[in-house]
Structure 1
Amino acid sequence: MTIDTGALGFGSGERAAYAANPWASRGRLFPEPSSLTRSEFQRDRDRIVHTTAFRRLKHKTQVFISPDGDHYRTRLTHTIEVAQIARALARALKLDEDLAEGVALVHDFGHTPFGHTGEDALHELLEPYGGFDHNAQSLRIVTKLERHYAEFDGLNLTWESLEGLVKHNGPLLTKTGEGTRGPVPQPIRDYCELHDLELASYASLEAQVAAISDDIAYNTHDIDDGLRSGLLTFEMLEDVPFLAKVMADVRQRYPHLEPSRFTYEITRRQITHMVEDVIGVTQDNLRRLRPQSAHDVRNADQVMATFSGEVAETDRCIKRLLFSRIYRHPEIMRIRAGAAQILSDLFNAYMNDPTLMRSHYWVNHIAGLNEGAKARHVADYLAGMTDTYAVRAHGELFDQTPDLR
């Protein structure tokens, strides 16, 4: 993929016509005076960083449960890596870096303890009440559950940040109003009745680069963590043609490199290749579609920030490798089963006696709620837990807690 280096925005400070404009934001649900020192998107980014939800990410699993080792990624370190890549892409494409970074920083707020295991377990438990979706939970956190400000619940983020959070993976509705990935989660529908996020359109290009940065980051760091854990070997990476070529190139240039440096040389080349591919493809799409505003990006009827066909196939090959060698490894599956049991036990205990959720802000009002509303509050409480807190809470209520090591 060829990059037009003359069109790159490195160091220029220039914002393209198709970028989101913080000075022309669609505003906030609750109007606030403008800041004298920060743009609207800078304020959003700063509010996200100062949340309780952001701090909790440091003790939430990415793939490997945190007691396994201090050097494995957590949700927090993953989020920081995504934000770094998103900001680099935004700078190269002359987008608003603060909006791209903000969407990246908030994109995993709704994740449960124990990674995707926790989300799967909660979704199954809440299926009679509309299910659980981490993206919808992220929206609940930033519009309702963070309770710091005197005049409103949540963070009162701009329309653009909320749109990016909800739609960074694409539209949720077709033009005819059908769900693109099944029914739209109820928390998103409820919020859109107050503040329409236009679920049938694409998100801004800033949100699109945040989304693909997520793919780049976790593909790379799951390989790194997999090699560190011993579940992956360099021989296994040979199954992905791109990685096989990268390793051959590194071995030829550095024939006596120690394994830790060899791993880093692989992963940094992987990130660079994918980032440069996205820049080149996006530049091609921008030249072809010629958007003159962020509105044009939203209504282009296609995602603009994406991989080329060749790199998309590499992405699929890496995901297949990670799925078969790590995510479905017997040891990981054993831990997943224990984590699911912890959340299931806690859910049932809290549904039977909501007063056990001592620190939940709504605990004194849950008794009069119907089962669906009560289940949603229990899900709020469980999804907000860190891995360590969930294990401790289970140990306080039950005689035996599954061993997650």
Structure 2
Amino acid sequence: MSHTEQEFPLSAPSSLAPYAAHSSQSRGRRFPETLPAAHTEFQRDRDRIVHSTAFRRLEYKTQVFVNHEGDLFRTRLTHSLEVAQIARSVARNLRLNEDLVEAISLAHDLGHTPFGHAGQDALNECMRDHGGFEHNLQSLAVVDQLEEHYGAFNGLNLCFETREGILKHCSRENARKLGDLGERFLTGKQPSLEAQIANVADEIAYNNHDADDGLRSGLITLEQLSEVSLWHSHFEAARAEYPHIEGRRLIHETIRRIINTLIVDLIEATSLNLARVRPASLDDVRNAPFLVAHTNKVAAQAAQLKRFLFKNLYRHYRVMRMTNKAKRVVTGLFDAFTDDPRLLPPAYQVRLPVAEESANDAAAPMNDGSSQARLIAHYIAGMTDRYALKEYQRLFVIDNN
């Protein structure tokens, strides 16, 4: 029996806990719909997310490395699938709603820009005078407004609980604009346990796959990682159990052990928190402190790995070169579209009222300040890495061929 099979805890629960999010008790959708015939409301949300345009584009949006630099590095799509797998495992063992936690996990990165965090930072700087840019709010905009699949409404019309889980962070200013969805950021309440799980699963996934991609790229080494206690202990355990393996096999064996340890610890620590607080309903969860958490020991080990990656991978000079290039592309696109919105596809141009338009030069740029800037941000955020590079070339590179 493998290391994972020995330590992974409970089997599938027969019923949801009373403090789980029950689809039959959902706070509903923005636009009422008939109940689905063959699946639950949260299953319907998951299916809509998987079939969305933004979800497909995640295949060509990166985490750390620019998409064209290698086929073996993680993308936002593979990351989202890994988050969903981890989150479902935790939810099942805590008798929580797997369909909801999967829907949140698959949707949490829909609003990410091309080029990972570098693209987001650049777009946020471009939008500084227009309300800024934050990928959690952009993910919400994608599912609420930008997807165009249904005749009765814009967006995907997801359940309140799914939308709540997508919105992990929000400023008080933006929270006031969101009504019920932003209320918890003003009152200090918590989201569902399913949303809390998706949040922690996100960090488990990206810390471990960034370490894997960093090793694969050669930007970090096994010798460097040996300084990280969480890595070192599991690496040595894997090597002791399988002294004949090396290379990628040894790295994979180490990473799967780390992920298993983090999952098991999260389940056990959260179970203790639930036993201590004893919530009897989802409302009790909302009024409690954040309940999904690691033990202090494991949390400290995970934090050490995160600090290591920040220092040695995300700040590696080769990554910084890619980051600088990505920011130049995003900023160049934003500036070009701002200077002349006619360069944008028609759907992203703000049109002046007919009377006002006729009184002006018809060839003049139709720019409505922040509204136009936000449409430009929507356009750029929806781009894949390779599409953004092609748009940049189309705008700035003269092709003599």
- Normalised by the length of structure 1, the TM-score is 0.90
- Tell me, which stretches of 5 or more residues in structure 1 are unaligned? 173-182
What is the correspondence of 1:2-401 to structure 2 with a 5 Å cutoff? 10-167=11-168, 172=170, 183-184=171-172, 186=174, 189-192=176-179, 198-199=184-185, 200=187, 201-300=189-288, 302-358=289-345, 361-363=347-349, 365=351, 368-399=366-397
Deviation at 1:362, TM superposition (A): 3.6
Give the conservation status (yes or no) of the 8 Å contact 1:9–1:94. no
Give the conservation status (yes or no) of the 8 Å contact 2:349–2:372. no
Instruction: Report Cα offsets for 1:84-119 as digits up to 9, x if no partner.
Output: 101111101000100000000110111100000000
Deviation at 1:257, TM superposition (A): 1.1
Pair 400,75 (structure 1): closer, same or farther in 2 beyond 3 Å: farther
Q: What secondary structure does 1:365 align onto?
A: coil
Give the conservation status (yes or no) of the 8 Å contact 1:163–1:197. no
Alpha-carbon RMSD: 1.8
Give the conservation status (yes or no) of the 8 Å contact 2:63–2:76. yes
Supply the distance in 2 between the matched residues of 1:197 and 1:139 (Cα, whole angstroms): 15
Pair 189,151 (structure 1): closer, same or farther in 2 beyond 3 Å: farther
Supply the distance in 1 between the matched residues of 2:154 and 2:10 (Cα, whole angstroms): 37
Give the conservation status (yes or no) of the 8 Å contact 2:68–2:386. no
Instruction: Report Cα offsets for 1:148-191 as digits up to 9, x if no partner.
Output: 21111111111111111114x6xx5xxxxxxxxxx3364x5433
- Normalised by the length of structure 2, the TM-score is 0.90
Mean Cα displacement is larger for which, 208-217 or 236-245?
A: 236-245
Mean Cα displacement is larger for which, 236-245 or 338-347?
A: 236-245
Pair 371,316 (structure 1): closer, same or farther in 2 beyond 3 Å: same
Deviation at 1:9, TM superposition (A): 5.8
Instruction: Report Cα offsets for 1:201-247 as digits up to 9, x if no partner.
Output: 21000011101000110111011111100111111111111211112
Give the conservation status (yes or no) of the 8 Å contact 1:144–1:154. yes
Instruction: Report Cα offsets for 1:305-362 as digits up to 9, x if no partner.
Output: 111111111111111111111100001101111110011110011111212222x624
Supply the distance in 2 between the matched residues of 1:37 and 1:235 (Cα, whole angstroms): 53
Deviation at 1:80, TM superposition (A): 0.4
Mean Cα displacement is larger for which, 240-249 or 267-276?
A: 240-249
Asked which structure has the greater CA Rg, the reply is 2
Give the conservation status (yes or no) of the 8 Å contact 1:208–1:305. yes
Give the conservation status (yes or no) of the 8 Å contact 1:110–1:141. yes
Q: What is the total number of aligned residue pairs between the two structures?
A: 378
Supply the distance in 1 between the matched residues of 2:183 and 2:366 (Cα, whole angstroms): 32
Deviation at 1:137, TM superposition (A): 0.5
Supply the distance in 2 between the matched residues of 1:145 and 1:100 (Cα, whole angstroms): 22
- Tell me, which stretches of 5 or more residues in structure 2 are unaligned? 1-5, 353-364
Give the conservation status (yes or no) of the 8 Å contact 1:159–1:197. no
Runs of 4+ in 1 over 4 A off after TM superposition: 366-369
Deviation at 1:11, TM superposition (A): 2.4
Supply the distance in 2 between the matched residues of 1:107 and 1:185 (Cα, whole angstroms): 21
